[in-house]
Amino acid sequence: MYDGKQEFDAAVTIVSLLGILVVVGTLWYNLEPIIIRFLEQDDTTVLLLVDAEEHPHKDVDKQVPSTEVKEETSNQREWLPGMLAKEQYETSNQPEWLPGRLAKCFALQRTIETLFTTTTKPGQVLCLNGIRVLSINRVVLGHAYSALFIGGYSYITELVKRRNFIVVYNVIPSDSFFALSGFLVTYLLLKQLAKRGGLTPLQWIAFYVHRYVRLTVPYLVALLIEGWRYRFLMTGPRAQQTQTTDMGSHKMCEEYWYTNVLYINNLVPWKAAATCLGQGWYLANNMQFFLIAPLFVVLLFGTPLLGVLATGGTMICSAVSAAVITTAGSNLDEMWLQYNKPWIRITPYLVGILGGWFYWKWGKQISDGVKTLPEWQKVMCATPIWAVTAAVEYAVVFGLCDDAQNMQKGNPDEAESVFYQSLARIAWSLSLTIQILLCQCGLGGFINSFLSWSGWQILSRLTYSVFLLHLGLITALFGQMKHTLFLNSDFEFAVLYLGTLAMSYLSAALLYLAVEQPVANLEGITYRKSI
């Protein structure tokens, strides 16, 4: 039996190293200004003594450093290290010591401040914060229910009979993240292209390296944590069952770990059920879409008509491929072809690209026009659009209900399945993108106020780490469970879900503070100079 000792030892080493870096960075962040202040005071004393020898009749006692005057005249009391940290850049003309800059990237003061800041900048798409948090919470809910397969398939089959359970069972809304990514990448890249008139080869390289580094380092740490999890936590009655399955097993991590680093784990191995870190297929798709996104963005920037045709044509090809695969069969291999292959999942990303381009090109003009309208006209204009998009989203979510019931009976409607699988993702992402545009153009009303609430910003920064860690926590929880959830266990499962969600955010905060944000700080030292 595989005991996971190597992964456990590696995980302990890496986590210990990260802890040391955080401690060293935090200490240096606090001590550096004090040390600099001490050295500067020493230099000032020497200068004053020399000045006194040259001018013996001058009142030296009245000469004090300008920084001390600031301290005496200030009516506010600040924490000493923080006050000195602000002053060191005003009093010192020397360039900051590079090792010190690198160490302070891990300082808890910096990372915590970044996590909890709610300041905004002009042009930010604030409604995406709320959408991102609500979407990841739903993903955790869906994965929590899917883990019940460990406890017995019969429970899932009974749940599917409930019409309201389709909200959890349907995975189409999870594609919201692809639409959000396509929207943001396109909007930000178009702003850079317009500002610079194009990007140099070095800037294009920095564009890709920036993305790869920011995503991959936390991803690798999450893979190591998987090894630690199996070594330390998977000791319950179902541990053997969870360790021997293909999904996220150690055997697959040993054989195919490199596919995660290269972001091809949705293609190698071909069967997606055999993978390391079960949710990693999404990251592979997202990175692959990011790699080709500039092809569409550059066309939309230089030749908009050709860009729209290219993006729309690719969406049509994706929809056709989904229809063909659905028609071919419904066995396990075809199911995975429908689930995680890039030619199936790319449509929401492409819709997001078109939405980002539309907002960049016409968003300001529409917003300026909306500002001149009275409130009742805004309501009259926005309400029908919100109603139609909400109805489409409702149809997408519950449109799978009959198909799920028919599958349980063994006689699914092939025509309905083909129609749904080919168009549902486009319909959902298009409706969501339109709603984002409404929020950004001043037609969001109370919905935009809710989604743009400043508190979402904090949780939104943790969504990537939540995505990386939550499934491992869920698997460990159910692997150790000594009983099976029964049909009347909704309350019990609600408690388990909320507890798992809280643990996911707590774990995500630790990963964010120790890895994700420090890496962003380190990478930001050079990236801002490149693009």
Query: What tens digit of pLDDT does each residue of 430-444 get?
Result: 999 999 999 999 999
Q: Are 478 and 151 in contact (CB under 8 A)?
A: yes
Residue-wise over 377-397: b if at least 16 C-beta within 10 A, else e?
ebeeebeeebeebeebbeebb
- Closest by CA position to 442, among listed 348, 377, 358: 377
Residue 198: left (phi > 0), alpha (psi -120 to 50), or beta?
left
Residue with tokens 């069952």: 241
Helices 517-530 and 5-54 pack at an angle, to 10 degrees, of: 60
pTM of the prediction? 0.85
Angle subtended at Cα 148 by Cα 144 and Cα 154, rounded to the nearest 5 degrees: 145
How far apart CA 401 and CA 225 sit, in angstroms, is 37
**According to the model, what pLDDT value does residue 291 have?**
97
- Closest by CA position to 261, among listed 218, 295, 225, 293: 218
| H runs (alpha helix) in 147-279 | 153-160, 166-169, 176-196, 201-232, 239-244, 250-261
DSSP 152: -
How far apart CA 351 and CA 172 sit, in angstroms, is 14
Q: Are 122 and 449 in contact (CB under 8 A)?
A: no
In single-letter form, the type of residue at position 290 comes to F
* Positive or negative torsion for Cα 176, 182, 185, 186: negative
Give the list of residues 6+ apart from residue 192 with CB closer than 8 angstroms, or none. Answer: 199, 531
**According to the model, what pLDDT value does residue 349 have?**
98
- Those residues of the chain that have pLDDT short of 50 are 1-2, 46-50, 52-54, 56-93, 248, 332
Cis amide bond preceding 269, omega within 30? yes
**According to the model, what pLDDT value does residue 86 have?**
46
How far apart CA 518 and CA 21 sit, in angstroms, is 10
SS3 247: strand
Give the list of residues 6+ apart from residue 107 with CB closer than 8 angstroms, or none. Answer: 22, 25, 26, 28, 29
How far apart CA 206 and CA 209 sit, in angstroms, is 5
Residue 18 in tokens = 């990260």
In single-letter form, the type of residue at position 315 comes to M
**According to the model, what pLDDT value does residue 410 have?**
54
Kind plus residue range of the DSSP H or E element containing 522: helix 517-530
Strand partners, 275: 247
Give the list of residues 6+ apart from residue 38 with CB closer than 8 angstroms, or none. Answer: none
Q: Are 503 and 473 in contact (CB under 8 A)?
A: yes
Print the SS3 string covering 82-99.
Answer: HHHHHHHHHHCCCCCCHH
Residue 393 in tokens = 């989203």
| H runs (alpha helix) in 117-174 | 127-146, 153-160, 166-169
**According to the model, what pLDDT value does residue 52 have?**
45
How far apart CA 527 and CA 53 sit, in angstroms, is 50
Residue with tokens 């959890």: 168
Dump the DSSP string for 9-26: HHHHHHHHHHHHHHHHHH
How far apart CA 312 and CA 395 sit, in angstroms, is 23
How far apart CA 528 and CA 521 sit, in angstroms, is 11
- Residue 308 burial (CB count, 10 A): 17
- Closest by CA position to 425, among listed 512, 316, 267: 316
| H runs (alpha helix) in 373-413 | 375-398, 401-409
Residue with tokens 């990372």: 111
How far apart CA 110 and CA 487 sit, in angstroms, is 48
Residue with tokens 């199911």: 335
The string of pLDDT tens digits covering residues 454-482 is 999 999 999 999 999 998 888 877 777 77
- Closest by CA position to 107, among listed 206, 28, 217: 28
* Positive or negative torsion for Cα 134, 137, 142, 145: negative
| Length of the chain measured in residues | 531
